[in-house]
Structure 1
Amino acid sequence: MDLLRSLPIGLYLEQPVTWLHRLDPRVKLGWLLSFLLAPVLASASWKLSLVALLVIISILAGIPWRALKPQMGWLLLFGGAIFVVGMFAPDSINVTQQLRSPPDPGVEIAQPYQYVLFKLDAGMIQLKITRKSLENAIYASSLIFTSIYSTTVYLLTTSPEEVATGLDNLMSPLRRFNVPVTEIALTLTLSLRFIPLVLEEVQNLVRSVYTRAIDWQKLGLKNSAKVWLTVAEKMFANLLSRAEQIAVAMQVRGFTTPNTHKVEWHQLKLRKIDFLAIACLGIFWTARVIIGGQFI
Structure 2
Amino acid sequence: MDLLRSLPLGLYLEQPQTWLHKLDPRVKFIWLMSFLTSYSFANNEWRVLLVALLIIFTLIARIPQRVWQQQMGWLLTLTFLVFAIAAVSPDGLGVDYQPRLPSNPQVLTQPAKANNSPVAISQSGKKYSYVLFHKGPVKVTRRSLDLGVRLSTILFTVIYSTNLYLLTTAPEEITAGIESLMQPLRRFKIPVTELTLTLTLSLRFIPLVLEEVQNLVRSVMTRAINWKKLGLKGAVKVWMIVAERLLENLLLRAEQMASAMMVRGFTSPHEHRVPWHDLRLKSWDWIAIASLTLFWAIRIVLGHEF
Same fold (TM over 0.5): yes
Residue correspondences, number: 284
Tell whether 2:270 aligns with 1:259: yes
Secondary structure (helix, strand or coil) at the match of 1:113 reads: strand
Secondary structure (helix, strand or coil) at the match of 2:279 reads: coil
Q: Which moved more, 1:129-138 or 1:256-265?
A: 256-265
Task: Kindly report which structure 2 residues correspond to 1:141-152, keeping only aligned pairs within 5 A, or say none.
Answer: 141-152=152-163
* 8 A contact 2:130–2:141 mirrored in 1: yes
* 8 A contact 2:227–2:235 mirrored in 1: yes
Offset of residue 112 of structure 1: 3.2
Superposed structure 1 runs of 4+ greater than 4 Å apart = 96-100
* 8 A contact 1:95–1:115 mirrored in 2: yes
Q: Percent identity?
A: 56
Q: Which moved more, 1:5-14 or 1:202-211?
A: 5-14
Offset of residue 254 of structure 1: 1.5
Cα distance change, pair 226–294 in 1 and its aligned pair in 2 (3 A): closer
Q: How well do the aligned residues superpose, as a CA RMSD in angstroms?
A: 1.7
Secondary structure (helix, strand or coil) at the match of 2:166 reads: helix
Q: Read off the aligned partner of 2:127 and give its amino acid letter.
A: P
Task: Kindly report which structure 2 residues correspond to 1:175-186, keeping only aligned pairs within 5 A, or say none.
Answer: 175-186=186-197
Q: Read off the aligned partner of 1:178 and give its amino acid letter.
A: K
* 8 A contact 2:193–2:270 mirrored in 1: no
* 8 A contact 2:197–2:269 mirrored in 1: no
Q: Which moved more, 1:66-75 or 1:44-53?
A: 66-75
Offset of residue 70 of structure 1: 2.8
CA offset digits 1:1-60 (Å, max 9, x no partner): 111112112211011101000000000001111111111111111111111111111111
Which residue of 2 is the match for residue 23 of structure 1? Answer: 23
Q: What is the distance in 2 between the residues matched to 1:221 and 1:133?
A: 39
Among 96, 99, 114, which residue is 2:129 paired with? 114
Q: Read off the aligned partner of 2:126 and give its amino acid letter.
A: Q
* 8 A contact 1:80–1:141 mirrored in 2: yes
Offset of residue 213 of structure 1: 0.6
Q: What is the distance in 1 between the residues matched to 2:89 and 2:235?
A: 38
Q: Read off the aligned partner of 2:246 and give its amino acid letter.
A: M
Tell whether 2:38 aligns with 1:38: yes
* 8 A contact 2:24–2:285 mirrored in 1: yes
Q: What is the distance in 2 between the residues matched to 1:185 and 1:109?
A: 61
Offset of residue 111 of structure 1: 3.3
Tell whether 2:174 aligns with 1:169: no
Q: What is the distance in 2 between the residues matched to 1:118 and 1:130?
A: 7
Offset of residue 162 of structure 1: 0.2
Which residue of 1 is the match for residue 145 of structure 2? Answer: 134
Which residue of 2 is the match for residue 241 of structure 1? Answer: 252
CA offset digits 1:154-173 (Å, max 9, x no partner): 01100000000000000011
Which residue of 1 is the match for residue 164 of structure 2? Answer: 153
Tell whether 2:217 aligns with 1:206: yes
* 8 A contact 1:164–1:265 mirrored in 2: no
Q: Which moved more, 1:8-17 or 1:64-73?
A: 64-73
* 8 A contact 1:11–1:156 mirrored in 2: yes
Q: Read off the aligned partner of 1:119 and give its amino acid letter.
A: H
- Stretches of structure 2 that go unaligned for 5 or more consecutive residues are 102-107, 112-122
Which residue of 1 is the match for residue 236 of structure 2? Answer: 225
Q: Read off the aligned partner of 2:215 and give its amino acid letter.
A: N
Q: What is the distance in 1 between the residues matched to 2:37 and 2:159?
A: 13
TM-score (norm 2): 0.89
* 8 A contact 1:165–1:185 mirrored in 2: yes
Q: What is the distance in 2 between the residues matched to 1:138 and 1:109?
A: 29
Q: What is the distance in 1 between the residues matched to 2:143 and 2:227?
A: 47
* 8 A contact 1:39–1:143 mirrored in 2: yes
CA offset digits 1:138-165 (Å, max 9, x no partner): 1110111111111111011000000000
TM-score (norm 1): 0.92
